[in-house]
Amino acid sequence: MSRCFALARKGLGSTYPNPLVGSVIVHENTIIGEGWHQKAGEPHAEVNAIAGVKDKSLLQFSTLYVNLEPCNHFGKTPPCSDLIVKHKIPRVVIGCVDSFKEVNGSGIEKLRSNGVEVILGVLEKESRALNKRFFTFHQKKRPYIILKWAQSQDGFLAPLPESRDEQVPVFLSSRKAQIQVHQWRAEEQAILVGAQTVIDDNPALTTRWVAGKNPIPIILDPKNRIPITAKVLQSATDYLHLTKKTLSIDHQVSPEETLSKSMQHLYKQNIHSVIVEGGAKTLTHFITHELWDEARIFTAKKDLHHGIKSPEIEGDIQSIFSDKSEDYRLIKKRRKQG
């Protein structure tokens, strides 16, 4: 199952809106086939694993491992449950049930009704964590939300706009940290900033420093303030500009209602994950209304002395990493549940 996880992670950033799935086929304690879901619309992990088995006659004496319940419906590809039954694979080990309404136990039922032995719940917690984006989307009806920012060690995000000479991003973190951020962008389906960040920094919001697909830019701009010449509007082939008109708001609303309508809109647009990169007001709104799942905070070993204050956030610390050579500290937090 751990090997299934490793295979599944290879698809991170390219399978949306589908989940991350890896599959391994074992015969007499030897892996004879393995695969992962690489891109939405392309073959699923089980299909690729079966295709990788050279001697198909061995399948009827083998065990198939997969971190998520095999699908049992016709989407862009046929049901994996049918393929498993067709090849008479006698035993399937599954990490966790797929809560998507088109599956949700029906794949397991199909296998068992055809005489397949199904073992369920192997590394279940880890299986669910692997597909936290997919499960959050289907269960909470919103994207999985990651907050990210960099701050000075004295608690500022950036200098005040009036003290700046250029309309460019202010980088507090090192180049190594910035490359890490671009890798994170490549892993998520979308990236969100507020209107003020676009006005002050004119960011591109791309993955230009790593290999990977650019996330879909989302600009939270209820008052429609950003200029049409903004770099993000000119360079992106696909973007979401969340204005009052887009969100069907015809009156003055609170930040909480604006965020709520924004998340409803992203859900309808099938956005499974979003990394929020500011600015301060936007980040604070997400935090205040507990609309976040993870926070990733870089603290640079430098002082600004004055400027835009960093958000304050509480949560369970997942990890703390210090890079002395690059002079920054990274803290990852998870929102407390309950």
Catalytic residues: 46
CA distances from 106 to 2, 30, 71, 235, 300 (A): 24, 29, 8, 43, 50
